[in-house]
Amino acid sequence: MKTQRKQFLEIFYSLDFQKIKDHPNILIAAAFWEEDRYQAARVCYRCLRVIDDMVDDRKAENRPFSEAEKQQFMQSIRQWLHWLSEASTSGSKENELSIFPGQGFPETSGWMEQVASTFREFLIPLRTMEAFARSMMYDIDHDGFATFGDFLGYARGASVAPATVFVHLAGLTRENQQYHLPPFDAEEAATPCAIFSYLVHIIRDFQKDQHNYLTYFPDEMILRYGVSRDDLRRFAFGDPVSPGFRLFIGDLYEQAGIYKERTLEVMERIGPLLEPRYRLSLEIIFNLYLLVYEKIDPQQGEFSSEALNPTPEETRERVLRTIQTFS
C-alpha cells in the first residue's frame, strides 16, 4: 500500500487545482486511473456535455421553445443517439453529426471515430445514453419539475447516466488484452451517489442556475414551504432568504443525507471488487461532493455560489486527505 500511495501522491501533485474550478469532479477522480480509461472517461463526458450544454444554453435565453424548436432539438438528440448506437456496434461513420442548432459537436472524422472506438472497446452501455437522452428531451418539453418524483426521474438520466459510465469504467476487468463487464450492476451501484451528488449540486448551484433562468427545485416542495419561483429569483439576486426557504433546503438536505448513507453502503459492498486505484477514485468523487454537503447549513448558512463552491485549495486538501486515509 505504501508503494501505491506513493504513486497516487505523484499523480496528485501533478494536478493543477487552480485550473479545475469549472471541471467536473468525475475527471478529477478519473485522473488516478490508467491512461486509457482516463481518456475514455474524457471522451464519454465530452459526448454527454455537448447535449447538456445545447439544452441549457437555449433555456438560459429565457424564452419559450416554439413547437418547431422543440421538434428540432428533439430530432437532434434522437440523431445523436442513433449515431452512437450505430457507431458503437458497427463502427459506421454515417450520419455526419452536423446536427446541433447553434453550436457544435466536434465534427471531425477523427473525433467521431474516437467516440465510436471508445464505446466499442470499453463496452459503454447504450442504455445509459438512452436514459440521458430521455432526460434532455424532458428538459426541452418542461419548465422545471412539478414534484420531487419528477426530479428523481429526470436525475436518473441527467446524473445517474454519467455516473453509471464512471462506475462502469472503474469496474471493468481486463483479460487477454480485452475489457470485460464489471462483476456488479454499474447502474445500481452508481445510483445512490449520483442522486446524492445531484441534490448537493442543485443546492450549490442555486444562485447560478437562477441567474441562467434554470429552476431545478420541485414546485410541489417549494410551495409546501410558502416559496414561489419569483421568491427564488429574489433570493438568488440578494434578498434575504425566508424561513420557508431554509426549511425547504433542510428537506432537500435530509434527502441528500439518505442517499449519502446508501452510497457508503454501496462503496463497502463493491470496494473489494475493484482495483485500488479505481476504488480510490470512487472515494475521491464521493468526498468532493461530501465537501459541498458539509458547507450547506439550512438553518444559518448562505446559499450563494461563493459560499457553497469549494475553493481550489479546499478541493486539493480534500483529495489529499482522501489519499492519505485510503486503505
Band of pLDDT at residue 90, cut at 50, 70 and 90: low
Query: What secondary structure letter does DSSP report for 239?
Result: P
Rounded CA-CA distance 314/83 in Å is 40
Is pLDDT of 316 > 80? yes
pLDDT tens per residue, range 101-117 = 444 455 555 677 888 89
Minimum mean pLDDT range among 113-122, 145-154, 192-201, 232-241: 113-122
Average pLDDT, the chain: 91
Q: Which of 140-144, 183-187, 310-314 has the highest mean pLDDT?
A: 183-187
Q: Which stretch of DSSP H or E encloses residue 180?
A: strand 178-180
Is pLDDT of 25 > 50? yes
Minimum mean pLDDT range among 40-49, 141-150, 161-170: 40-49
pTM: 0.92
Band of pLDDT at residue 287, cut at 50, 70 and 90: very high
Q: What is the mean pLDDT of residues 238-251?
A: 98
Rounded CA-CA distance 286/283 in Å is 5
Is pLDDT of 100 > 50? no
pLDDT at 105: 52
Domain residue ranges in the chain: 2-13+21-325
Is pLDDT of 26 > 70? yes
Cell output for 288: 468532493
pLDDT at 19: 79
Is pLDDT of 223 > 50? yes
Fold of domain 2-13+21-325: Farnesyl Diphosphate Synthase (1.10.600)
| Percent with pLDDT over 70 in the chain | 92
Distances (CA, A) of 170 to 30, 199, 323: 9, 23, 17
pLDDT at 91: 55
Q: What is the mean pLDDT of residues 31-38?
A: 96
- Phi, psi for residue 62 in degrees, rounded to 5: 60, 45
pLDDT at 27: 83
Is pLDDT of 181 > 80? yes
Q: Which of 48-52, 138-142, 148-152, 309-313 has the highest mean pLDDT?
A: 148-152
